[in-house]
Amino acid sequence: MPHQPPSPVGFDAFVHVRGAREHNLKDVDVDLPRDAIVVFSGISGSGKSSLAFGTLYAEAQRRYLESLSPYARRLIDQVGVPDIDAIDGMPPAVALQQQRGTPNVRSTVGSITTLSSLLRMLYSRAGTYPPRQPMLYAEDFSPNTPQGACPTCHGLGYVYTVKDEAMVPDPSLSIRDRAIAAWPPAWHGQNLRDILVTLGYDVDKPWRELPKKDRDWILHTDEQPVVPVYAGFTPAETRAALRRKTEPSYMGTFTGARRYVLDTFANTQSALMKKRVARFMSGTTCATCDGRRLKREALSVTFAGLDIGTLSRLPLADIAELLAPAAKGRFDTPVATATRSRAAGRKDIARRVAAGGLPHTGGTDVRRTANLSEEKRIAAQRITRDLIGRIESLQGLGLGYLALDRSTPTLSSGELQRLRLATQVRSNLFGVVYVLDEPSAGLHPADAEALHAVMGQLKAAGNTLFVVEHDLDTLRRADWLVDVGPDAGQHGGRVLYSGPPLGLRDIEASHTRRYLFDAVPTRRRTPRHPSGWLELLGIQRNNLHGLDVRIPLGAFTSVTGVSGSGKSSLVSQALVELVGEHLGHEPAVEESSDDMPLPDAITRTAGRLGAGVGAIRRLVNVDQKPIGRTPRSNLATYTGLFDHVRKLFAATRAAKARRYGVGRFSFNVAQGRCPTCEGEGFVSIELLFMPSVYAPCPTCHGKRYNEKTLEIEWNGRNIAQVLGMTVDEALSFFADEAPVHRALALLHGIGLGYLRLGQPATELSGGEAQRIKLATELQRSQRGDSLYVLDEPTTGLHPFDVDKLMVQLHGLVDAGNTVVVVEHDMRVVADSDWMIDVGPGAGEKGGRIVAEGVPQDVASAGVGATAPYLQRALS
Ligand code: ADP
Ligand code: ADP
Ligand code: ZN
Ligand code: ZN
């Protein structure tokens, strides 16, 4: 059915919104066309998401739930309904939001795109089985089921080992001088040393001079002898005490170093301890399954010459290529390598022999003809076609470099959203509203072309797209633009304009207008002269193979390149790790888990730092990871300003009279907080088939504190009211309290004045979390020898907010620091002192330096994918 896209002037159906008051929305009435791409613009905090997600999507969701059951209806009452008078003409909606909070470690590219389940079906139904092996079910090909998982590694693909060199990094030290770095610090470490003394080991000899047998036992034993300990005794005194059977200080339990590391890693509740011991561990590929995560029987089944585990590690683009012949009904493919073909050929022939079809020749032919039964052929062709179609939509969005087994926590939120988007394109829904949150995030302007094409496809299929977006190019291409503002929080929440993009030109109050129509000239300034160069040599990480690169010190550098080219591998991984290691930071382990961290959290970058590293004394990685994973952490606690606020409350006369200390005003301490929600302000409600939702606590209604605590006021406000203030409100309320005021002023300066002090970490976007981290960092005194690393700091930011951010970052460089950003926004790149363009393509087609230099020079040279876009920004 060919669908006629509506012309920008004549839309025939509209969604009518009346009286929207969610969050900061000011009784908004607006009509939005259907079967069109509608983009919501406005500065950060203006109310775009409150309109698109909080109102439109939430209402569609509510109606859907309501149609289900009375039970669901009751839940909706508890969760709350959007504050709105009426919405007419709203079709069912699907939301593709940026990930907030931590995603599931076990989820992979294959699982969220459903490609993995299709592949499992393919192998189960149409795979080549060894002779006499019965057919397997699809679940047998899943490493996440007990039927499918490799029994050795339980489907993880790797096992943990603890290496001697890691546990004892400096064998010239004695045990007393802490040769065994893996042992716990402080008292517990001393205790283990004293036990060794009792056991008769020499703790004063250099480690390497101890007999191998002793060293092995101390590091690797699983025995846990319990022996008398004489605390504070010398070895000689201990021996004497043992002979005399003197009463010991206590009985101590010995634990070998390896066992200590593994037990602590598996059992500790403390993230810090987990991080500490993770340093001594390495993830090694499981020898049983060779990292393919499946049981032997499953791995013996092949398709196109490969087992499913091997196939899942290939980039999607390669999988599509491998499956292409089968999709065309050709199964007589030459198989990939000689070894594989020989094995496969032999098996295949054996199978035919077993089936009574062929005399046994025993020969090995390199070209083989898979003799699939007719039924299998049909299944194979149908499934491979479907697979290829799905992969093509992913390739279209620039994601062909991803492998199926890539875990989603290692993806950027932009990659994740595009994965979901591509999956939707294939779902053939129509008459649906897709609500998208900044789909251009993480996309190089060259990749964005593909995104626009996919959005066009969804529209052409008869759907409506509501898109929250900052990218000016996307704004220009919209059929309809809704500009929200003019400013953030209570100074926003109005619809300034709703109509075709060009009409925004006349709206004076709009910040967006300036960037869209006025040729805001990119600030031309003379690039700074670097104070030196930091060299990175022989970098090996993901798709970087022995890369050498230099970064100017005391300057602002942008690293650019298409999605998947290796920017993050170079900056957020290699640079951060090598400099961190040099400075003696503990390597960061993904805080993903109750689960085990992934091996890539433990694998290190290979390579080294050359000249220039001496000039860096501090490393600050300002990433977009959440500032906390529970509603307990919030803006006020993270920045430290809440400590000052609590002191103010504890110092009031009323608090002193009741002997309330600072702890009383913490919602993490039992005395002061609400007992029902234990200070969370929310209780969580489990929904069937859906993520659980938070509803306000029925006792304190979100105030988090008990009545007694709330009776204490400072300047007429109680502690819950303070947490309810926005940064801007608090700015005047705490005008005379220097430490609080200073922190607030920085948050305001970076465009976060609209956030509430108590806004839970779980409600913050990645971009907000990143700016909170930056503001917290800016509170410190600047010594001028720090390296700041930011991965896509402009994500989620309106150009107006980007300008504010750039002022802060340039301030850091002016103070003598070095700033390195990964960036797609050409306005930012143009405003840098230096740029490094990585590419030319994605995955293994990238990973090299294509161009580097002063942005103006790179643009004029015209080399690399970025130059043409940069040229436009500079002209
Ligand atoms: P935008 O999407 O334009 O950045 P939002 O719609 O997220 O803006 O926010 C608009 C206003 O609503 C801000 O003042 C913000 O602090 C507030 N707000 C956002 N989410 C919530 C929430 N869950 N509860 C209360 N206020 C919120
Ligand atoms: P960019 O930042 O330019 O988008 P990345 O550095 O994230 O690119 O990715 C470069 C290549 O390395 C891609 O092929 C990507 O799939 C791969 N890669 C990145 N991170 C990981 C990881 N944690 N595990 C495996 N492969 C990764
Ligand atoms: Zn295994
Ligand atoms: Zn409560």
For 624-669, the pLDDT digits (tens) are 878 877 778 899 999 999 999 999 999 999 999 999 999 999 998 8
What phi-psi label fits residue 853: left (phi over 0), alpha (psi between -120 and 50 degrees) or beta?
A: left
pLDDT grade for 364, boundaries at 50, 70 and 90:
very low
**Could you tell me how many residues make up the chain?**
875
Q: Is the pLDDT of residue 868 over 90?
A: yes
Measured in Å, residue 304 CA sits from the centre of ligand 4 at 59
Question: What's the 20 CA to ligand 1 centre distance in angstroms?
Answer: 13
CA 292 to ligand 2 center in whole angstroms: 20
Question: Cα(241) to centroid of ligand 4, in Å?
Answer: 58
Q: Which ligand is nearest to the CA of 720?
A: 4
CA dihedral 844→848→850→856, nearest 10 degrees, is: 120
Single pTM value for the model? 0.80
pLDDT band at 569 (very low <50, low <70, confident <90, very high): very high
For the cut 70, the answer to whether the pLDDT of residue 147 exceeds it is: yes
Q: Say which ligand is closest to the CA of 157.
A: 3
Separation CA 236–CA 781 (nearest Å): 51
106 pLDDT above the threshold of 90:
no
Q: Which residues line ligand 1 (CB under 6 A)?
A: 23-24, 42, 44-50, 489, 754-756, 763
Which residues make Cβ contacts (< 8 Å) with residue 279, sequence separation at least 6? 166, 586, 587
- Ligand 2 pocket, Cβ-based, cut-off 6 angstroms: 401-402, 406, 410, 542-543, 561, 563-569, 600, 843
Do 723 and 704 touch, CB atoms closer than 8 A? yes
Q: Assess whether pLDDT exceeds 70 at residue 670.
A: yes
pLDDT at 682 exceeding the cut of 70: yes
* CA 107–ligand 2 middle distance (angstroms): 17
Contacts of 107 (CB under 8 A, 6+ apart): 407, 408
How do residues 288-307 score in pLDDT, each as one tens digit?
Answer: 999 899 999 999 999 999 99
Name the one residue in this structure whose structure tokens are 């085990």. 596
Phi, psi dihedrals of residue 789, rounded to the nearest 5°: -120, 125
**Ion ligand 4: protein residues whose beta carbon lies under 5 Å:** 674, 676-677, 697, 699-700
- Reported ipTM: 0.95
What is the number of the ligand closest to the CA of 283?
3
pLDDT in tens, 197-224: 999 999 999 999 999 999 999 999 999 9
410 CA closest ligand 2 atom index = 23
Confidence band (pLDDT; 50, 70, 90) for 568? very high
Dist. CA 537 → ligand 3 center (Å): 34
Give 296's contacts (C-beta < 8 A, 6+ positions apart).
288, 289
Q: What is the pLDDT of residues 748-778, one digit of tens each?
A: 999 899 999 998 887 787 778 889 999 988 8
Mean pLDDT of 331-341: 46
In this predicted structure, what is the pLDDT of residue 9? 58
Q: Please state, in angstroms and rounded to a whole number, the distance separating the CA atoms of residues 399 and 408.
A: 13
Q: Measuring CA to CA, which residue among 145, 315, 362, 465 is closest to residue 841? A: 315
- The residue among 394, 229, 260, 397 whose CA lies nearest residue 319 is 394
CA end-to-end span of the chain: 44
Mean pLDDT calculated for residue range 806-835: 95
Cα 191 to averaged position of ligand 1 atoms, centre (Å): 53
pLDDT per position as a tens digit, 239-253: 999 999 999 999 999
Return the beta strands (E) in 270-391 as ranges: 281-285, 302-303, 306-307
- Based on DSSP, count helices (H) and strands (E) in the chain, helices before strands: 35, 26
**Atom of ligand 2 at shortest distance to CA of 822?**
2
**Is residue 836 pLDDT above 90, yes or no?**
yes
Render pLDDT for 705-747 as a digit per residue (tens, 0 to 9): 999 999 999 999 999 999 999 999 999 999 999 999 999 999 9
Could you tell me the pLDDT band of residue 589, with boundaries at 50, 70 and 90? very low
Other C-beta atoms lying within 10 Å of the C-beta of residue 91: 16
Pairing of strands 281-285, 28-33: unpaired
The residues near 756 (Cβ < 8 Å, ≥ 6 apart) are 635, 723, 724, 725, 726, 727
Among the bound ligands, the one closest to the CA of 293: 3
Question: Which one has a higher pLDDT value, 560 or 625?
Answer: 560
Answer positive or negative: Cα dihedral of 361, 362, 364, 368.
positive
Task: Note the pLDDT of residue 591.
Answer: 41
Considering every ligand atom shown, identify the ligand nearest to the alpha carbon of residue 676 and give its number. Answer: 4
- 156: CA distance to ligand 3 center in Å? 7
Q: Which atom of ligand 2 is nearest to the CA of 573?
A: 6
**569 vs 71, higher pLDDT:** 569
Mutate to test the pocket of ligand 2, among 313, 417, 544, 569 (most ligand atoms within 8 A of CB): 569
| Two tokens, residue 287 | 């020898």
Q: Which pLDDT belongs to residue 336?
A: 43
Q: How far apart, in Å, are the Cα atoms of 731 and each of 447, 710, 780?
A: 41, 22, 19
Lowest mean pLDDT among 69-83, 582-596, 635-649, 715-729: 582-596
* Residue 428 DSSP one-character state: T
**Which pLDDT belongs to residue 77?**
62
Least confident of 9-13, 649-653, 867-871: 9-13
What pLDDT was estimated at residue 519?
67
Which string of DSSP letters, residue by residue, matches 225-274?
-EEEE-TT--HHHHHHHHHTTPPPSEEEE---HHHHHHHHHHH---HHHH
